A and B are shown apart, each in its own frame.
Chain A
Amino acid sequence: MKYDYVIIGNSAGGIGCAEAIREVDRESSLAIISAEKYRTYSRALIPYYLDGRIDEEKMYYRPEDFYEKIDAEAHLGVKVERVNVDSKEVELESGEKLGFNKLLIATGGKPFIPPMEGLKNQKNAFTFLSFDDVLRVKEACENSDKVVVLGGGIIGLMVAEVLSRKGLEVKVVELLERVLAPVVDETVSRIVQRKFEENGVEMILGDTISKVSGEEEIQSVTLRSGRKIETDMLVIAVGVIPNVDVVKGTSIKINRGIVVNRKMETSAKDIYACGDCAEVYDSILGSYRVLPLWPIAYSGGRVAGFNMCGVERELIFATAMNAMHFFDYYIITGGLNLRDGERDFEVISEIEGENYRKVVLKDGEILGFIVGGEVRRAGILMKLMREKLNVSSFKESLVKSSFGFLDIPKEFRWELLGDKVKIGVVREV
């Protein structure tokens, strides 16, 4: 079997790619291969599903007839064993081989599980990444009272919030001294921490699990500090690492993730990669890195898709960006998150109650921002950052909650808005 396009991966990156291909090329054959048996769903939605805010149907990212509509052959529940670069084939678990003209690898990430003593496949130890994971957690939590969540990152906290709201006694264990440390600053970390604590979640910081006890089921965990916590469940949500299994041992270059250029091409001809499995160029930091983020996966897939069918595109903008919320406290971040104590940057911030805005500038350009609480129109900051505009002349206004285009000097403003506004209708220049 040979296809013009083969996509390994059925999530944001893969779908982005498939949709882009079909915008340009409706004729060629296209196959999407996914190790999971589900039709395309949103991994990012699993906390919402766990919460019960959405049902299974809404987990699906695209309508039921999606593959039909885009005329793609979906190979679901099919695991790819390896990519054969030279023969331009993908080898399936079943041994079947699918040929391709162009290939996208969008295999995503897999959970990172830190080493801890006594951890094996206990029934009540969970990761939290896939549909299967959430189904298991959901089932387990029905009969549990206590849970320990390892990891004070976004996923860890989202799980913790949901479980806490479900009435479980939740303890979050985070290795660092504050939660969300990679994505937000101390101020927001503390606000979030307080939110959890107010809602009865115990936040154990600067500590980690060194040992789990229990055979079939985990009975308790022991922290590095020596504290022992009895628990009914352990959710490990420390992070994801790129899933690069299918290209291991091939000529395709891998660093932490699959190395791609800005056209999302790997080191092998006609083979592209995107999403959590790839390392993309962070246009703000100016270096390649893994950015396991939904929008970047989708855009990366899209860029790959265009390139695959001959329309040259580059992923111009990629950097860290997160929209998150904990107990209705919303946070949107973008770009560089200063490490504590870093000083080579200009920081402007304003806090009013729990409403917080902060921008990090260097040479007049925005390198990063954090907005917490009132997050309306935060995308404008993202845009300014993306355009690398020199904002020195209006930097003070960036941290006003009312910040908008009218705070931006005219010479930039109309450029940012492009032909989406008509100027000069009164006075010709």
Chain B
Amino acid sequence: MLEGEIHSHLLPDFIIERREDRCIRCRVCERQCGFNVHWYDEETDSMKEDEMKCVGCQRCVVMCPTKALIVKPYPGDYRANANWTKERILDLKKQAETGGVLLTGTGNDKPFRIYWDHIVLNASQVTNPSIDPLREPMELRTFLGRKPDKLEIEFNGDLDDVEIKTELSPNVMIETPIVFSAMSYGAISYQAFKALAMAANEYGTLFNTGEGGLPRELRKYGKNAIVQCASGRFGVDPEYLNCAAVIEIKIGQGAKPGIGGHLPGEKVTEPISITRMIPEGTDALSPAPQHDIYSIEDLSMLIYALKEATDYEKPVCVKIAAVHNAAAIASGMVRAGADIIALDGLRGGTGAAPKIIRDNVGIPIEMALASVDQRLREEGIRNKASILVAGGFRCSADIVKAIALGADAVYIGTAALVAMGCTLCQKCHTGICNWGICTQDPNLAKRLNPEIAKKRLVNLLRAWSLEIKEMLGGMGINAIESLRGNREHLRGVGLEDWELEVLGIKGAGE
């Protein structure tokens, strides 16, 4: 035992089965494991493994040319105890051994109710026709930004020659109501970041830079970029703001409401340091609050500072974590001048967050969205801002339901990562990502070929957009705007009264 070290009592998370009759000792598993699980034993001419290190990312399994590997959860367990579960015991032991705040990556994995799974969609039968989305036009084009309550139009006698007198706020157009959510270069690899940018560009939607800045050579994707101005203000310069489609003020994140972020110094490599404009090897600390925003009127101050900095040409989005008073806060945000409000729910992802925060703070996005949309409508200001929602969207049906609840578009983060290769091993915070996504280790990062990742992302957007059209067609709707806030097309199954009430939907059969 080294001095200061504590003998570990932890159990392995995974078990590795190697089918010897298939193993050709090619050592691909060894080379592909960033956690150093596999190794070759020359003496016995066989592959060996250290299961304590395995995170279950399945990279070795996928890469093994003979499919000789099976990685599965470690079956050993403590005496059954509904209160003291294995997870609780292991977490506690880990803290007893380290004395630290437990970190984790990705979104909340706790069994909170997923309301999407308790909401069902409608379809046309007899009384009106469903529409065939394969042959008839189906429109998903969406505009994000502030809309006026009415238009003043000047007619010049000729109806073909009309002029709009109303001064319009800037809006940004997307071809599908799916936007890539904030993932910073730093949290994710350059390769992953670039893939998102390219995919957004190719499909006509937006990606979000997160708070790590936008590398100079990617500024050509600015017209597809939502650039963040977050508490750390990394890489925020006038050009960064002006090249973007949308500027987002990040107040909070669904996975860690109220918490700042630390990009540890070892991840601040040279290219990251250039982009964030901080010295190499320095911790990139994102404070918990924006230090120029301690209250709502300060938010309006920053919103308008950004509008000033960009000559009132870009919509400004404000992103908050979905918390108890989301509806009221959202109202304040709209009144403070936000053109888009982004809500990030309880199941939103993260590159690194204290586990205790991730698993216990915030509210589900379904509830936040429903109450925000409702509140803004009650106050008559729903058109003043678009609503972007985030936090665990897993399939196109979730998106359709969100739009019917009142969202303008959704942010997908984890889904995009999974499309690129992520297997939700939840080790993002370690800086080791065997899939080359959430890492700055150049050896690992190059595993993600941006071209391939882009194709996968574009395919995902395409597939989901097609499915959305299918569902719209079934409801007899051929333009996404007719679904927005159309809660008539939703019914709850297995929900309690208060839940239906917050969601503003009827129960099935009602």
Residues of A in contact with B (beta carbons under 8 Å apart): 425-429
Q: Is the CB of A426 within 8 A of B217?
A: no
* 15 A–B pairs (Cβ distance < 8 Å), ordered by A: A425-B449, A425-B450, A425-B451, A426-B190, A426-B191, A426-B194, A426-B446, A426-B449, A426-B450, A427-B190, A427-B194, A427-B217, A427-B271, A428-B217, A429-B217
What residues on A are CB-neighbors of B191 within 8 Å? Answer: 426
Interface of A is mostly: loop
* Binary flags per residue of B269-313, CB closer than 8 Å to A gives 1, else 0: 001000000000000000000000000000000000000000000
Alpha-carbon distance A429/B446, docked complex (angstroms): 17
What residues on B are CB-neighbors of A428 within 8 Å? Answer: 217
What residues on A are CB-neighbors of B451 within 8 Å? Answer: 425
Interface of B is mostly: helix
If A425-B451, A429-B217 are given as contacts, then 13 extra A-B residue pairs at C-beta distance below 8 Å, sorted by A number, are: A425-B449, A425-B450, A426-B190, A426-B191, A426-B194, A426-B446, A426-B449, A426-B450, A427-B190, A427-B194, A427-B217, A427-B271, A428-B217
Alpha-carbon distance A426/B449, docked complex (angstroms): 7
What residues on A are CB-neighbors of B217 within 8 Å? Answer: 427-429
Least CB distance, B308 to chain A, in whole angstroms: 32
What residues on B are CB-neighbors of A429 within 8 Å? Answer: 217
Alpha-carbon distance A429/B191, docked complex (angstroms): 14
What residues on A are CB-neighbors of B271 within 8 Å? Answer: 427
Least CB distance, A429 to chain B, in whole angstroms: 8
* Binary flags per residue of B425-461, CB closer than 8 Å to A gives 1, else 0: 0000000000000000000001001110000000000
**CB-based nearest B residue for A428:** B217
Least CB distance, B216 to chain A, in whole angstroms: 10
Alpha-carbon distance A427/B191, docked complex (angstroms): 8
What residues on B are CB-neighbors of A427 within 8 Å? Answer: 190, 194, 217, 271
Least CB distance, B443 to chain A, in whole angstroms: 12
What residues on A are CB-neighbors of B190 within 8 Å? Answer: 426-427
What residues on A are CB-neighbors of B194 within 8 Å? Answer: 426-427
Least CB distance, B222 to chain A, in whole angstroms: 15
Alpha-carbon distance A429/B271, docked complex (angstroms): 12
Residues of B in contact with A (beta carbons under 8 Å apart): 190-191, 194, 217, 271, 446, 449-451
**CB-based nearest A residue for B450:** A426
Alpha-carbon distance A427/B189, docked complex (angstroms): 12
**CB-based nearest A residue for B271:** A427
Least CB distance, B203 to chain A, in whole angstroms: 21
What residues on A are CB-neighbors of B449 within 8 Å? Answer: 425-426
**CB-based nearest A residue for B195:** A426
Least CB distance, B451 to chain A, in whole angstroms: 7
**CB-based nearest A residue for B445:** A426
Alpha-carbon distance A425/B271, docked complex (angstroms): 16
Least CB distance, A49 to chain B, in whole angstroms: 40
A-B pairs with lowest CB-CB distance, top 6: A428-B217, A426-B191, A426-B450, A427-B190, A426-B190, A427-B217
**CB-based nearest B residue for A429:** B217
Alpha-carbon distance A427/B197, docked complex (angstroms): 13
Alpha-carbon distance A426/B191, docked complex (angstroms): 6
**Most chain B beta-carbon contacts within 10 A, residue among A425, A426, A428:** A426
Least CB distance, B69 to chain A, in whole angstroms: 29
Least CB distance, B397 to chain A, in whole angstroms: 35
Least CB distance, A284 to chain B, in whole angstroms: 37
Alpha-carbon distance A425/B446, docked complex (angstroms): 11
Least CB distance, A427 to chain B, in whole angstroms: 6
What residues on A are CB-neighbors of B446 within 8 Å? Answer: 426
Least CB distance, B198 to chain A, in whole angstroms: 11
Alpha-carbon distance A64/B163, docked complex (angstroms): 87
Alpha-carbon distance A429/B217, docked complex (angstroms): 7
Alpha-carbon distance A427/B195, docked complex (angstroms): 11
Alpha-carbon distance A426/B271, docked complex (angstroms): 13
Least CB distance, B340 to chain A, in whole angstroms: 30
Least CB distance, A428 to chain B, in whole angstroms: 5
Alpha-carbon distance A426/B215, docked complex (angstroms): 13
Alpha-carbon distance A428/B449, docked complex (angstroms): 14
Alpha-carbon distance A426/B189, docked complex (angstroms): 11
Least CB distance, A409 to chain B, in whole angstroms: 16
Least CB distance, A413 to chain B, in whole angstroms: 16
Alpha-carbon distance A425/B453, docked complex (angstroms): 13
Alpha-carbon distance A429/B218, docked complex (angstroms): 11
Alpha-carbon distance A33/B446, docked complex (angstroms): 58
**CB-based nearest B residue for A425:** B451
Alpha-carbon distance A171/B450, docked complex (angstroms): 65
**CB-based nearest A residue for B220:** A428
Least CB distance, A306 to chain B, in whole angstroms: 41
What residues on B are CB-neighbors of A426 within 8 Å? Answer: 190-191, 194, 446, 449-450
What residues on B are CB-neighbors of A425 within 8 Å? Answer: 449-451
Alpha-carbon distance A425/B454, docked complex (angstroms): 13
Least CB distance, A257 to chain B, in whole angstroms: 52
**CB-based nearest A residue for B448:** A426
Alpha-carbon distance A183/B80, docked complex (angstroms): 78
Alpha-carbon distance A292/B190, docked complex (angstroms): 54
Alpha-carbon distance A371/B190, docked complex (angstroms): 41
Least CB distance, A331 to chain B, in whole angstroms: 29
Least CB distance, B185 to chain A, in whole angstroms: 11
What residues on A are CB-neighbors of B450 within 8 Å? Answer: 425-426
Alpha-carbon distance A426/B451, docked complex (angstroms): 8
Alpha-carbon distance A427/B451, docked complex (angstroms): 12
Alpha-carbon distance A426/B190, docked complex (angstroms): 8
Alpha-carbon distance A428/B217, docked complex (angstroms): 7
Alpha-carbon distance A393/B271, docked complex (angstroms): 23
Alpha-carbon distance A176/B248, docked complex (angstroms): 82
Least CB distance, A424 to chain B, in whole angstroms: 10
Least CB distance, A315 to chain B, in whole angstroms: 41
Alpha-carbon distance A427/B272, docked complex (angstroms): 13
Alpha-carbon distance A426/B192, docked complex (angstroms): 10
Least CB distance, B93 to chain A, in whole angstroms: 41
Alpha-carbon distance A429/B450, docked complex (angstroms): 16
Least CB distance, A311 to chain B, in whole angstroms: 40
**CB-based nearest A residue for B194:** A426
Least CB distance, B420 to chain A, in whole angstroms: 14
Alpha-carbon distance A156/B191, docked complex (angstroms): 59
**CB-based nearest A residue for B451:** A425
Least CB distance, A10 to chain B, in whole angstroms: 48
Alpha-carbon distance A427/B194, docked complex (angstroms): 9
Alpha-carbon distance A426/B446, docked complex (angstroms): 8
Alpha-carbon distance A425/B451, docked complex (angstroms): 8
Least CB distance, A106 to chain B, in whole angstroms: 49
Alpha-carbon distance A427/B217, docked complex (angstroms): 8
Alpha-carbon distance A428/B271, docked complex (angstroms): 12
Least CB distance, A195 to chain B, in whole angstroms: 29
Least CB distance, B243 to chain A, in whole angstroms: 16
**CB-based nearest A residue for B191:** A426
Alpha-carbon distance A426/B448, docked complex (angstroms): 9
Alpha-carbon distance A375/B40, docked complex (angstroms): 26
Least CB distance, A23 to chain B, in whole angstroms: 38
Alpha-carbon distance A425/B194, docked complex (angstroms): 11
Alpha-carbon distance A425/B449, docked complex (angstroms): 8
Alpha-carbon distance A428/B446, docked complex (angstroms): 14
Least CB distance, B441 to chain A, in whole angstroms: 14
Alpha-carbon distance A427/B190, docked complex (angstroms): 8
Alpha-carbon distance A306/B269, docked complex (angstroms): 53
Least CB distance, B270 to chain A, in whole angstroms: 12
Least CB distance, A423 to chain B, in whole angstroms: 12
Least CB distance, A406 to chain B, in whole angstroms: 12
Least CB distance, A422 to chain B, in whole angstroms: 11
Alpha-carbon distance A428/B194, docked complex (angstroms): 11
Alpha-carbon distance A427/B271, docked complex (angstroms): 10
Alpha-carbon distance A203/B190, docked complex (angstroms): 63
Alpha-carbon distance A429/B216, docked complex (angstroms): 10
Alpha-carbon distance A426/B217, docked complex (angstroms): 11
